[in-house]
Chain A
Amino acid sequence: MPAVDLPLRTRVAALAGRAIADASRWVGAGEGSVIGGRVTLAIDQRALELMAAGHQSVVISGTNGKTTTTRLLAAALASRGPVSTNSAGANLIPGLVSTLFRGRAGAAVALEVDEGHLAEAIAAVHPTAVVLLNLSRDQLDRFGEVRRHAADWRLALAASPDTVAVANADDPLVTWAAGACDPSDDAVSPDGVHMNGGARRCGVTWVGTGQRWRADASACPNCGSRIRWDDDRSERGGVHWTCSSCALARPRPDAWLEGSDLVLADGRRLNVRLQLPGRVNVSNAAMAVAGAMALGVDPGRAVRGMSRVRAVAGRYQVLNVEGARVRLLLAKNPAGWAEALDLIRPPPTPVVIGINAGVADGRDPSWLWDVPFERLRGRVVVATGERGRDLAVRLRYAEVRHTYEADYRKAVTAAAAGVMGRQPEIDFVANYTSFQDARRALSSKVRGGPPAVRAGNA
């Protein structure tokens, strides 16, 4: 509920938005968070800023892992007190607004924000902390976005001096953006403004996540020269990197991963035990712990809180489809796929891959050729989704045995057909809108019925 000391206009806007959202939910049109937020903003443009004021808040952004990291961070904060957080996907400005108008007074706020709208969100929310995960190519039909996002982030952070950044030291683009919060950073912004003009800055917590994706940071975001990776020099959870001509280099992490242990600069060592699978989620958890610490949560408590998270907006969820146990994984882009190929269970587990090229996926799926699908050789793969035929051709050239099946349920049965045993296990990996389609198609035979959630067993 919005605090009572908000201006009347904002209170009316929040109530109207909630009413519309509730109505939308009541008629079964979904959660209504987007439409409700839009109504609130139409009545009071400053609603987000005014409602966010007075809350302790953290915003989380990046190309990959933002939904999971937000969920983990919200769980960490919940170990201490009430939390408001957005539902998956409602990560544009209206979604943030509706999260706040449903939030309790005094609750901490954890907001997942789309990377293209983070600058706007920082300017409105003035968050206590911002967690910057990574930046990589995502939607090819948009152009030059990765670099532009980094530049926008940097300018927004420079204009929000009370915000602490928690940043992935293994991502050069993120490092450069977060430098705006670092009192010792003296780089110059893309439009020539010297950003360390004596402004107060709250600093950066650098996290060594061990991220291995490099393909989208070959050129320095600060000066355009080549980034060099020094594979012989590994320290504090990652490989050292440096720009070949300017001063941008991997900062010395304040927290870093050694296996599944998160090590803090003061010598504390926390074992990160998750119910979510994979290295990538240990990295997400490391970022979430650092984010929770920025809001004053004890790291041990944060880790315990996160260990309760089992599935995130359907990711890692296991569904029963005609007797097969189907685990859903999301991979939206080459960087995400690099992680997903590690998460997929070893052969002979069959894999179904769903590829769409809707607006939210990017209309151009040629990134499929940047994914090393050759790693799937030696097992059964079924291609599906609106662009399953593009995938089938990619798999043919990768010499991966595969079939194409347009229907999601039939794709699963086809994958299960070759497996011995009563309950075949299948990994289903899909990109953004294909993942939503798969969840809907596989969850229930009843149209519009609730997803039959079974917790992940990975």
Chain B
Amino acid sequence: MPERVAIALLYPELLGTYGDGGNAAVLAQRLRWRNIAAEIVDVHAGEPIPRSCQIYVMGGGEDAPQALAARELRSGSILADAVDGGAAVLAVCAGLQVLGQRFAGEDGKTHDGLGLLDCETHRDDGPRRVGEVVVTPEPELGLSELTGYENHGGVTTLGPTATPLGKVVVGNGNAGGDGTEGIVNGRVVGTYLHGPVLARNPELADHLLTSVLGPLEPLDDPEVESLRKERLHAARHPHMHMPQLRSGWRRLLRGS
């Protein structure tokens, strides 16, 4: 194990719209709680990506910043080299799309992705997919149900060799008609789940950590368990978790 685990947060100003920087914070803190030193390295657009990090994290963002981030990443092969060298990657939403073969950007233009994940993303005319998501992970991952919040206009189809992260129980996920959510290629994990996803799913955080560091002692997460229980229930019973519907008429009349 390295003396100090470095977690790169890629382009937070471009791919940081949905609080996904929290994923890096969760990874670092879960290491520190196990007495393993950890640091987060913010990598801004225009700066070189450090080669020596153990985990790389990318979040969601809007169309123009996403295309800019893809251009930055394509200008070198550092991310692919790092994965070959044993690093893990978590890519959320726009990040997932950028790591695929191709993705559709603003006004339908197709951009080349990095090809670290065998998928491609296009757009349809439907409304954006927004809301709570519940996912049953692929059994070989050995994870509990995943909970998150999605917000994307993309439709991601998986290539023939690709493994999804799991099957959608509530929500849309990849939205390609096959009921899958996310995509996994070894230590590279792509998902549409915000929340941030690792805050709501500590087992997925530890899965990424063990994929680069080997086995880790378990942590006690009672507060996260309460949150997970609440969110999983809310996703399955949305009407019971919308007090604003109950008081909606009152608020409408009051004018607030």
Contacts and interface: CB of A to CB of B under 8 A. Distances in A.
Nearest to A34: B255
Top 5 closest pairs, chain A to chain B, by CB? A30-B254, A369-B22, A366-B19, A218-B13, A34-B255
B253 A389 contact: no
Contacts of A24: 253
Given A30-B255, A219-B68, A360-B244, A369 B21 contact: yes
Contacts of A143: 62, 128, 151, 153
Interface in B197-242: 199-200, 223-224, 226-227, 230, 241-242
Nearest to B199: A393
B196 A392 contact: no
B20 interface: yes
B68 to A, nearest CB: 7
Nearest to B22: A369
Given A140-B151, A218-B14, A360-B244, A390 B19 contact: no
Contacts of A317: none
Contact of B64 (A219, A368, A389): A219
A386 interface: yes
B54 to A, nearest CB: 19
A34 B29 CA distance: 47
Interface in A53-105: 87-90, 95, 98
B171 interface: no
B46 interface: yes
Interface of A: 24, 29-35, 87-90, 95, 98, 137, 140-141, 143-144, 147, 215, 218-219, 224, 226, 358-360, 363-364, 366-370, 386, 389-390, 392-394, 396-397, 399, 404, 433, 436
Given A144-B62, A397-B26, A392 B223 contact: yes
A95 B255 contact: yes
B179 interface: no
A386 B241 CA distance: 9
A144 B199 contact: no
Given A218-B13, A389-B227, A29 B253 contact: yes
A397 B199 contact: yes
B223 A393 contact: yes
27 contacts: A30-B250, A30-B254, A30-B256, A32-B255, A33-B255, A90-B256, A140-B18, A141-B130, A224-B64, A358-B243, A364-B194, A366-B18, A366-B19, A366-B194, A368-B22, A369-B22, A370-B19, A370-B21, A386-B241, A386-B243, A389-B230, A392-B226, A394-B199, A396-B223, A397-B22, A399-B29, A436-B256
B115 interface: no
A366 B149 contact: yes
A167 to B, nearest CB: 23
Interface in B143-165: 149, 151, 153
A359 B199 CA distance: 23
Given A224-B64, A226-B45, A389-B227, A369 B199 contact: yes
Nearest to A98: B255
Interface string B1-31: 0000000000001101111111001100100
A354 to B, nearest CB: 13
Contacts of A35: 252-253, 255
Contacts of A87: 255
Among B17, B128, B130, chain A packs the most CB atoms within 10 A around the CB of B17
Interface in B54-77: 62-65, 68
A147 B62 contact: yes
B176 interface: no
Nearest to B23: A369
B223 A404 contact: yes
Chain B, interface size: which category? Answer: 35 or more
Contacts of A358: 242-244
A364 B223 contact: no
Among A141, A219, A363, A366, chain B packs the most CB atoms within 10 A around the CB of A366
A381 to B, nearest CB: 13
Given A143-B151, A360-B244, A369-B21, A397 B29 contact: yes
Contacts of A367: 18-19
A89 B256 CA distance: 5
Nearest to A367: B19
B217 to A, nearest CB: 18
Among B14, B128, B227, B256, chain A packs the most CB atoms within 10 A around the CB of B256
B166 to A, nearest CB: 20
A386 B231 CA distance: 11
A364 B149 contact: yes
A32 B254 CA distance: 6
Contacts of B128: 143
B18 A144 contact: no
A252 B233 CA distance: 53
B253 A30 contact: yes
Nearest to A141: B130
A219 B65 contact: yes
A144 B22 contact: no
B64 A393 contact: no
A140 B130 CA distance: 10
Contacts of B199: 369, 393-394, 397
Given A143-B151, A389-B223, 12 more contacts: A32-B255, A35-B255, A89-B256, A141-B130, A143-B153, A224-B68, A226-B45, A358-B242, A364-B194, A368-B22, A386-B241, A386-B243
Given A393-B224, A397-B29, A364 B151 contact: yes
B195 A366 contact: yes
Among A144, A218, A436, chain B packs the most CB atoms within 10 A around the CB of A218
Contacts of B63: 144
A392 B153 CA distance: 30
B106 to A, nearest CB: 10
Contacts of A147: 62
A440 to B, nearest CB: 10
Nearest to A219: B65
Among B149, B195, B227, B243, chain A packs the most CB atoms within 10 A around the CB of B227
A456 to B, nearest CB: 21
A390 B18 CA distance: 14
A363 B252 CA distance: 18
A137 B17 contact: yes
Given A143-B128, A218-B13, A370-B21, A390 B227 contact: yes
